[in-house]
């Protein structure tokens, strides 16, 4: 019996879904870069892991943030260009399986920017505010993006790259309220203004191209409000150069993923993931509380599941599971609902670390359940998000005041028609969903399902990876154009029609 009704208000446009909402984050941490993307038995002649590069190139990966994370405010870019690459302490993380907190600097600016070109992703570089200075930051921008006749541009050419790199996003630090210098919002706002001045944004005097400047916010929204208030106190006034404000939201910090088959814990975990919506609304409100003539977008710069298995000693590695994949689908739906304020979202961290998309072991590399969720959601990229209401049963999640809505959904409209994604967040049972699309009369419907028949704690590995791939799914089409789907527990469905 139908217990869930999804209504797609196809004419109620929210805004375009920026492809960058499906972005990613990579850091010099554990096996993300070394062993993950670079330098392994399967490396091509230039050091990239061909298998990983090919998996990343196969999905629509619009933007990649680097080199951190906490590491960004400990990174001096000149260590990672040219022939002389000093080995340094990595102040925050051990790398590889050896648990040695050292950075060999073999993967640096050219390697990262070339990787982005290979996988067709826009690069997003995070500048060092915590232990660096504005001159070092401005020099990095000039080195990468300047096409004229300066020592830095010539150095880039001597290091093998004639044409300037295209770097559309520059972040001013990372978590500067924490590992990026433990600053107050006022202190960071003043640093932000200094850095923004010298990276040359105002008149674009330095760079040959336009680029966006990104400030770090916090999950504490009073901190964000105070930052916004202070950053606007300068001669720039409401025209201060700030294009996006970010925050990081990790969830599941108290939940082991291998030792839990406690269904209440799954509910609690998903409720924590859904808190993303409130964070987006509150950071957008903090931006709006400061009168500005600029459009400042909301970026969720790092997000995803962080379980108790992911500790420094394991290089923040944790198993890739179906329940994590479900949480990603729920968050991507939230991003669609907030397409009018959101400009980017970067899940942590691309390969081997936290809720990565790709995992490696020796010569093997494979896609995790979350990889397939991103792939299933990719038709939303560039479409117009439209208002979608979900009337679904809810369950009281223990240890929280919040209820878990058992089915989530979002929809978008584009050149190829309408695309609806639905997630059954209920690990205990199926739900029959009716989908009404206002103003449309769907006939030819195509649907793909993820994770049917899998347990929520099913862990992917090199041998079973194929069993997490999408499968075709039958959706009923009524005479009145209403669609019906019997969604099995813990599944994600993508439905498209013209």
What would the two tokens of residue 297 be? 């977008």
Please report whether residue 324 would count as binding ligand AHR according to CB under 6 A. Answer: no
Please report whether residue 18 would count as binding ligand AHR according to CB under 6 A. Answer: no
Does 191 participate in catalysis according to the annotation? Answer: no
Q: Which is nearer to ligand AHR, 218 or 371 (CB)?
A: 218
Catalytic residue among 175, 191, 230, 272: 175
Give me the long-range contacts of 45-49 (CB less than 8 A, separation at least 24).
Answer: 46/114, 47/106, 47/107, 47/111, 48/111, 48/114, 48/115, 48/118, 49/360, 49/365
Cβ at position 27, least distance to ligand AHR in Å: 5
User: Which residue number places its CB atom closest to ligand AHR?
Assistant: 69
Residue from 302, 317, 359, 375 binding ligand AHR (CB under 6 A): 302
Please report whether residue 70 would count as binding ligand AHR according to CB under 6 A. Answer: yes
Cβ at position 420, least distance to ligand AHR in Å: 32
Q: Which is nearer to ligand AHR, 12 or 311 (CB)?
A: 311
Residue from 27, 35, 51, 122 binding ligand AHR (CB under 6 A): 27
What would the two tokens of residue 361 be? 């072991």
Catalytic residue among 103, 111, 230, 302: 302
Residue from 23, 69, 173, 297 binding ligand AHR (CB under 6 A): 69
Question: Measured between alpha carbons, how far is 431 from 424 in angstroms, rounded to an integer?
Answer: 7
Please report whether residue 321 would count as binding ligand AHR according to CB under 6 A. Answer: no
Please report whether residue 173 would count as binding ligand AHR according to CB under 6 A. Answer: no
Cβ at position 366, least distance to ligand AHR in Å: 21
Q: What DSSP element (H or E) covers 477?
A: strand 476-477
Handedness of CA 83, 88, 93, 96 (dihedral sign): positive
Question: Measured between alpha carbons, how far is 43 from 57 in angstroms, rounded to an integer?
Answer: 16
Per-residue CA distances from 128 to 64, 90, 243 (Å) = 17, 14, 18
Question: Measured between alpha carbons, how far is 190 from 240 in angstroms, rounded to an integer?
Answer: 12
Helix (H, G, I), strand (E, B), or coil: what is residue 336?
helix
Nearest Cα residue to 346 out of 92, 125, 48: 125
Does 302 participate in catalysis according to the annotation? Answer: yes
Instruction: Select from 205-213, 269-277, 346-354, 430-438 the region that touches ligand AHR (CB under 6 A).
Output: 346-354
| Binding residues for ligand AHR restricted to 239-268, rule: CB under 6 A | 248
**Tokens 């993508």 label which residue?**
494
Please report whether residue 349 would count as binding ligand AHR according to CB under 6 A. Answer: yes
Q: Which residues are catalytic?
A: 175, 302
Residues of this chain that interact with ligand AHR (CB under 6 A) are 27, 68-70, 174-175, 248, 302, 348-349, 354
């Amino acid at each position: 019996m139908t217990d869930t009704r999804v209504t797609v208000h196809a004419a109620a446009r929210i805004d375009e879904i920026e492809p960058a909402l499906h972005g990613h984050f990579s850091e010099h941490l554990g096996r993300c870069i070394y062993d993950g993307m670079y330098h392994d038995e399967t490396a091509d002649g230039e050091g990239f892991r061909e298998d990983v590069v090919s998996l990343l190139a196969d999905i629509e990966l619009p933007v990649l943030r680097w080199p951190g994370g906490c590491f960004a405010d400990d990174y001096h870019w000149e260590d990672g260009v040219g022939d002389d690459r000093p080995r340094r302490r990595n102040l925050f993380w051990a790398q590889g399986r050896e648990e040695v907190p050292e950075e060999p600097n073999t993967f640096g600016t050219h390697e990262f920017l070339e990787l982005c070109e290979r996988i067709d992703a826009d690069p997003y570089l995070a500048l060092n505010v915590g232990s660096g200075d504005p001159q070092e930051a401005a020099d990095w921008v000039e080195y990468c993006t300047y096409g004229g006749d300066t020592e830095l541009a010539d150095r880039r050419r001597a290091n093998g790259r004639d044409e300037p790199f295209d770097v559309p996003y520059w972040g001013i630090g990372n978590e500067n309220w924490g590992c990026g210098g433990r600053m107050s919002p006022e202190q960071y706002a003043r640093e932000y203004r200094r850095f923004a001045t010298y990276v040359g944004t105002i008149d674009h005097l330095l760079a040959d191209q336009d680029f966006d400047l990104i400030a770090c916010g916090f999950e504490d929204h009073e901190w964000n409000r105070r930052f916004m208030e202070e950053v606007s106190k300068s001669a720039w006034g409401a025209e201060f150069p700030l294009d996006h404000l970010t925050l990081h939201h990790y969830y599941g910090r108290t939940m082991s993923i291998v030792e839990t088959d406690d269904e209440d814990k799954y509910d609690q975990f998903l409720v924590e993931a859904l808190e993303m919506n409130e964070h987006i609304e509150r950071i957008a409100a903090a931006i709006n509380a400061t009168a500005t003539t600029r459009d400042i977008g909301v970026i969720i710069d790092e997000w995803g599941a962080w379980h108790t298995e992911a500790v420094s000693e394991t290089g923040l590695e944790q198993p890739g599971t179906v329940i994590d994949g479900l949480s990603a689908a729920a968050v991507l739906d939230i991003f669609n609902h907030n397409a009018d304020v959101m400009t980017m979202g970067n899940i942590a961290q691309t390969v081997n670390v936290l809720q990565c998309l790709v995992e490696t072991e020796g010569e093997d590399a494979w896609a995790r359940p979350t990889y397939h969720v991103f792939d299933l959601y990719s038709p939303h990229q560039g479409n117009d998000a439209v208002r979608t209401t979900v009337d679904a049963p809810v369950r009281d999640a223990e240890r929280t005041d919040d209820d878990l809505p058992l089915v989530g959904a979002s929809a978008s409209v584009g050149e190829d028609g309408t695309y609806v994604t639905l997630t059954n967040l209920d690990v205990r049972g199926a739900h029959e969903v009716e989908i009404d699309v206002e103003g449309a009369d769907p006939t030819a419907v195509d649907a793909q399902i993820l994770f049917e028949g899998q347990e929520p704690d099913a862990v992917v590995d090199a041998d079973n990876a194929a069993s997490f791939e999408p499968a075709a799914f039958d959706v009923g089409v009524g005479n009145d154009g209403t669609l019906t789907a019997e969604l099995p527990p813990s599944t994600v469905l993508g439905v498209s029609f013209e």
